[in-house]
A and B are shown apart, each in its own frame.
Chain A
Amino acid sequence: MMALAGSLWVGVAQPLPPRHETWVIHDLYSPPAGFNPLMVPGVAYWGTYIMYPTLFLGNVYYGPKLEEVLLPYLASGFRWVDSLTLEVTLRPEARWWDGVPITAHDVKFSWELGKRHPTYWNTAFWDFLEEVRVIDDKVVQFVTTPPKAVYFELLRMLTTALVLPRHRWEPLEAKYGANLTVDFKDDDPAQIVGGGPYKLERWDLDYALYVRVDDWWGKDIFGLPRPKYLLHRTFKTAAARNLAFERGEVDAICSVIEVWELQARGLPIRSYYDEPPYFLPSFGWGLFINFARPPLNDPILRRAIAYALPAEEIGRSLPVPHAPAHPTMIIDVYAWAKALIDEKVVADYGWRYDPEKAKQLLDAAGIVDRDGDGVREMPDGTRLGPWTVTCWTGFADGMLATDLIAHHLRKIGIDVVAEFYDFVVWDGKVIRGEFDMTFRWIFGITFGYPWNVFRAFLDPRVTGPVGTPYPVGNWHRYMNWAVVPILDAIPKEPDPEKVKAYYSLLQLYQLRDVVVVPLLYGVIGHVFSEQYWVGWPTSTRPDGWMHSIVTGTWPGALPQLFGLVPAGEDFMTSPYDTHMKRWIVPVSAFWDALAKAPKAG
Chain B
Amino acid sequence: MKKLRNTRLIISTGFFLSVVALGVVGPWVYPVDPFSPSGKRTQPPSWEHPLGTDAHGRDVLAQLMHGIRTSLWIGVIAASIATPIGVLVGGISGYKRGVLDELLMASTNIVLAFPPILLLLLVTVFVPVRTRMVVALLIGLTSWPLLARAVRSQVMSLKERQFTFLARMAGLGDIKIVLVELLPNMMSYVFSSFVWLMSGAMLAEAGLSMIGMGVTADVSLGTMLFWAQMIDAVRRGLFWWFIPPGGILTIMSASLLLLATALDELFNPKLRGR
Tell me the complex Cα distance, A425–B234, Å.
30
- Asked whether, in the complex, the Cβ of A243 is within 8 Å of the Cβ of B235, the reply is yes
Q: Shortest beta-carbon distance, A42 to chain B, in Å? A: 22
Among the stretches B11-19, B35-43, B96-104, the one at the interface with A is B35-43
A-B contact pairs, 15 of them (CB 8 A): A238-B232, A239-B234, A239-B235, A242-B232, A242-B235, A243-B232, A243-B235, A317-B57, A319-B41, A396-B56, A396-B231, A419-B217, A420-B129, A422-B212, A422-B213
Tell me the complex Cα distance, A242–B213, Å.
24
Tell me the complex Cα distance, A238–B56, Å.
17
Contacts of B230 in A (CB 8 A): 394, 396
Contacts of A238 in B (CB 8 A): 232
Task: Say if the beta carbon of A472 comes within 8 Å of chain B.
Answer: no
A406-452 residues at the B interface, CB under 8 angstroms:
418-422, 425, 429
Task: Say if the beta carbon of A459 comes within 8 Å of chain B.
Answer: no
Q: Shortest beta-carbon distance, B25 to chain A, in Å? A: 26
Q: A319-B41, A403-B35 are in contact. Are A421 and B56 (CB under 8 A)?
A: no
Chain B interface size range: 20 to 34
B101-118 toward A: CB 8 Å interface, digit per residue (1/0)? 000000000000000000
Task: Say if the beta carbon of B154 comes within 8 Å of chain A.
Answer: no
Tell me the complex Cα distance, A242–B229, Å.
13
B202-230 residues at the A interface, CB under 8 angstroms:
212-213, 216-217, 227, 229-230
Please provide the 6 A-B residue pairs with the shortest distance between their CB atoms, ordered closest to farther. A239-B232, A420-B216, A425-B128, A317-B37, A243-B235, A421-B128
Contacts of B216 in A (CB 8 A): 393, 419-421
Q: Shortest beta-carbon distance, B90 to chain A, in Å? A: 35
Contacts of A489 in B (CB 8 A): none
Task: Say if the beta carbon of B123 comes within 8 Å of chain A.
Answer: no
Task: Say if the beta carbon of A400 comes within 8 Å of chain B.
Answer: yes
Tell me the complex Cα distance, A243–B231, Å.
12
- Asked whether, in the complex, the Cβ of A319 is within 8 Å of the Cβ of B56, the reply is yes
Contacts of A429 in B (CB 8 A): 128
Task: Say if the beta carbon of B125 comes within 8 Å of chain A.
Answer: yes
- Asked whether, in the complex, the Cβ of A393 is within 8 Å of the Cβ of B56, the reply is no
Q: A418-B217, A419-B217, A421-B216 are in contact. Are A400 and B56 (CB under 8 A)?
A: yes
Contacts of B37 in A (CB 8 A): 317, 400
A285-340 residues at the B interface, CB under 8 angstroms:
317-319
Tell me the complex Cα distance, A24–B234, Å.
24
Q: Shortest beta-carbon distance, A559 to chain B, in Å? A: 32
Residue on A with the closest CB to B227? A396
- Asked whether, in the complex, the Cβ of A422 is within 8 Å of the Cβ of B217, the reply is no
Chain A interface size range: 10 to 19
- Asked whether, in the complex, the Cβ of B128 is within 8 Å of the Cβ of A319, the reply is no
Tell me the complex Cα distance, A130–B120, Å.
54
Q: A238-B232, A242-B232, A400-B37 are in contact. Are A422 and B125 (CB under 8 A)?
A: yes
A243, A393, A396, A425: the one contacting B55 at CB < 8 Å is: A396
Interface set of B (CB-CB < 8 Å, partner A): 35, 37, 39, 41, 55-57, 125, 128-129, 212-213, 216-217, 227, 229-232, 234-235
Contacts of B235 in A (CB 8 A): 239, 242-243
Q: Shortest beta-carbon distance, B105 to chain A, in Å? A: 35
Q: Shortest beta-carbon distance, A31 to chain B, in Å? A: 21
Contacts of B217 in A (CB 8 A): 418-420
Tell me the complex Cα distance, A400–B229, Å.
17
Contacts of B227 in A (CB 8 A): 396
Tell me the complex Cα distance, A366–B1, Å.
77
Q: Shortest beta-carbon distance, A576 to chain B, in Å? A: 34
Q: Shortest beta-carbon distance, A391 to chain B, in Å? A: 10
- Asked whether, in the complex, the Cβ of B39 is within 8 Å of the Cβ of A317, the reply is yes
Contacts of B231 in A (CB 8 A): 319, 396
Contacts of A317 in B (CB 8 A): 37, 39, 56-57
Tell me the complex Cα distance, A394–B213, Å.
10
Tell me the complex Cα distance, A329–B13, Å.
59
Residue on A with the closest CB to B37? A317
Contacts of A393 in B (CB 8 A): 212, 216
- Asked whether, in the complex, the Cβ of B212 is within 8 Å of the Cβ of A419, the reply is no
Tell me the complex Cα distance, A317–B212, Å.
22
Tell me the complex Cα distance, A393–B41, Å.
20
Q: Shortest beta-carbon distance, B218 to chain A, in Å? A: 10
Contacts of A403 in B (CB 8 A): 35
- Asked whether, in the complex, the Cβ of A421 is within 8 Å of the Cβ of B232, the reply is no
Q: Shortest beta-carbon distance, A406 to chain B, in Å? A: 10
Tell me the complex Cα distance, A318–B37, Å.
9
New contact pairs (18) apart from A394-B212, A396-B230, A429-B128, CB-CB < 8 Å = A239-B234, A239-B235, A242-B232, A242-B235, A318-B56, A393-B216, A396-B231, A400-B37, A418-B217, A419-B216, A420-B129, A420-B216, A421-B128, A421-B129, A422-B128, A422-B212, A422-B213, A425-B128
Contacts of A394 in B (CB 8 A): 212, 230
Residue on A with the closest CB to B55? A319
Residue on A with the closest CB to B41? A319
Residue on B with the closest CB to A241? B232
